[in-house]
Amino acid sequence: MRLGCRRVAATLGLLLTGCTVGPKYETPSVPMTASFKEATPADYRTAGTWRPAQPGDRTSRGKWWEIFGDRELDRLEDELTEANQTLKQSEANFREARAMVRYQRASLFPTIAGGVSAASIQDSSNAPYFLIPNPKAEGQLQLPFDLNYEVDLWGRIRHTVEAAREEAQASAGDLATASLSLHAELALDYIDLRSADAQQRLDDTVRAYVDALKLTEDRLKGGYAPVSDVEQAETQLATTRVEDTDIGVSRAQYEHAIAVLIGRPPAAFSLPPAPLDLRPLRIPPGIPSVLLQRRPDIAAAERRVAEANQQIGIAQAAFYPSMNLSALAGFEGTNLANWFGWPSLFWAVGTSLTQPLFDGGRIRAQSDQTRAAYDAYVAIYRQTTLTAFQQVEDNLAALRILDTEARQQREAVEAASRSLRTFTDRYRGGEDAYLLVITAQTALLLNERNDVDIERRRMEADILLVKALGGGWDVGQLPTLKAETSGFPRGAVVPLAQ
């Protein structure tokens, strides 16, 4: 007797759990190299000012912008985290994906519904009753409870839950990608704004032009210089002031962009001018294989490959029979007096098994569609990885080349300064024409502005390299199944990339 009960229990358990059809998921391979081409041996040293987190390393490096040591930038980045509307949209999409996991997971359990109905029924006197008399009007009171349960014989529901889970993890990767991109965009706008400030703060050059104008005026008064020298000096000074004023257009646009990023109207935000005091840093790139763990967009693309694999299982389950269990019980009476009496009890229990026989090829087409979608997501995953490698290589090359260019540019600035001093002294002594002074002034200003621009490009390459390396993110921050099914506080921001 006991053995028979165990067999019945085992059979019932097998019936309820069923088996799973569909391919087992394996992470697709991607093109890989042992190291980055543009990285120098010094780039792989770990004793730098910033080192990317390794998989499994729980040390938070999410606020990567703090490596630059600019308190104003830190404050703006923190404000972006709290107020940026695009980031809030991505966070809402993530919460929506998590809610979908719980929605799909509910299909693993029976559905129980209850209700109550009361009606007064009057049949037509001309109703066609053949063997029984026409009933009189009567009341009908019902209190039914309905239970329905789909037996997951082939894993369709489990595949659906897993697909929703993979999408929730991909959505978490999308949120981290949005956060990384927005913080990097703010840092770039901030660097560009401070570069504009530095361009406008070339006061020494403008003061030199004022002094040169006074020199020509004094020489004109003494009869040692023609009027044309004064006119050339006035033209040079006015042209330089116009160029400095024009920089204000770009600065205003960067300031407006920063305001929108931190969730403020441009009219309610301003940043006082300040020099570009930041300096480029050495940021070790690590190895390409680690990039797969550190880029949130790569992680999101890989999770969607896994989701597409689950969709294949769902499509394959449609080829097999589906089983539903149902039960109905309740009380039915004609009035309140006999509504809840034992004779008023009714119940029904049953099961149904449905097998597709002919659908014109719909199920087969659906299966082919899911396999094609899987191949497409694999291609997206691989292309995302290749693009990530390219971005790292591009910025490593930019940093290496710009480092050399910066040294050369500083030498050019020093040479231009010496040249201007020489021609100015010779002009004072009446040995050279003022045109040579104008030429030397123009060369110095051009080289000084190039020097500021190269520093800006080096800082931008630093920021873009941090972004290409994934910031402070790693795949360990993807939510687990327990987190996905536990709910999420409405309106909160998920600390995925912080």
> Running along the chain, 498 residues long, what does each successive block of 10 average in pLDDT?
45 55 86 80 49 40 82 94 93 90 86 78 58 55 82 87 91 92 95 88 70 78 79 81 82 94 93 81 79 89 93 91 87 78 82 86 91 95 94 92 93 92 85 82 87 91 92 82 49 35
pTM for the model stands at 0.81
CA neighbours within 13 Å on the CB side: how many for 98? 23
What is the Cα–Cα distance from 187 to 49, expressed in whole angstroms? 18
Q: What is the pLDDT of residue 138?
A: 58
The answer to whether the CB of 305 falls within 8 A of the CB of 374 is yes
Q: What is the pLDDT of residue 123?
A: 62
Do the domain assignments include residue 461?
A: yes
Do the domain assignments include residue 338?
A: no
Beta bridge partners of 433: none
Per DSSP bridges, beta strands 345-354 and 322-333 are antiparallel
CA neighbours within 13 Å on the CB side: how many for 75? 5
What is the Cα–Cα distance from 74 to 335, expressed in whole angstroms? 73
Do the domain assignments include residue 150?
A: no
Domains held by the chain: number: 1
Q: How far apart are the first and last CA of the chain?
A: 61
What is the Cα–Cα distance from 218 to 235, expressed in whole angstroms? 17
What is the Cα–Cα distance from 78 to 75, expressed in whole angstroms? 5
Beta bridge partners of 324: 150, 352
Position of tokens 């985290």? Answer: 81
What is the Cα–Cα distance from 174 to 230, expressed in whole angstroms? 62
Do the domain assignments include residue 350?
A: no
What is the Cα–Cα distance from 392 to 39, expressed in whole angstroms? 9
Which amino acid type is present at position 407?
A: R
Q: What is the pLDDT of residue 477?
A: 83
Q: What is the pLDDT of residue 18?
A: 59
CA neighbours within 13 Å on the CB side: how many for 295? 27
CATH number, domain containing residue 438: 1.20.1600.10
Q: What is the pLDDT of residue 286?
A: 76
Do the domain assignments include residue 211?
A: yes
Q: What is the pLDDT of residue 465?
A: 92
Cβ neighbours of 236 (radius 10 Å) = 19
The answer to whether the CB of 258 falls within 8 A of the CB of 191 is no
Do the domain assignments include residue 136?
A: no
Do the domain assignments include residue 470?
A: yes
Do the domain assignments include residue 141?
A: no
The answer to whether the CB of 194 falls within 8 A of the CB of 59 is no
Can you give the residue range of the structural domain that contains 220? Answer: 21-109+158-321+365-484
